[in-house]
Amino acid sequence: MLELTMAAVSAAEAGATAGMLMADAPSEPGAVLRVGRDRSVCRLSTPDDWLFVSRVHLEFQCLQDGAWRLTWLRGSQPEPSSEVRLIVGEYAQTVPYGGAVVLPRGGSGEVVVQDRTTPRSVNVGFYHEV
């Protein structure tokens, strides 16, 4: 099972956890969890006016072997207005625009979508239960 928690954080709310959203999915091949502004396809939705987040920004998909892959989906713009980082313990990795990384099995961490123009972010914590 993959469990996600999401908080939309602006500079004025740094450290706040109010309004945290949660979603989970079983670790079955093909299972998908999405994060973005489009509530019709995303289990975790950001504020509508946070345009640094695409309609469908992040996709977590369970692979055939039960591992989960994180993909930063390309939006309608050639250059993104955000950055995406995967943080696991002391390790931090930038996820390339349109790129994918496999999450650690049985691990936990955070995916941070950082606005490039304003001090605000979408923080998605994850826990992969084996």
The string of pLDDT tens digits covering residues 70-87 is 999 998 889 999 999 999
Under a CB-based contact definition with an 8 Å cutoff, are residues 15 and 123 in contact?
no
Provide the CA 49 distance to its chain's centre, in angstroms.
17
The pTM of the full predicted model, rounded to 2 decimals, is 0.92
C-alpha closest to that of 89 among 69, 109, 105: 109
Provide the CA 124 distance to its chain's centre, in angstroms.
5
The string of pLDDT tens digits covering residues 96-118 is 999 999 998 888 999 999 999 99
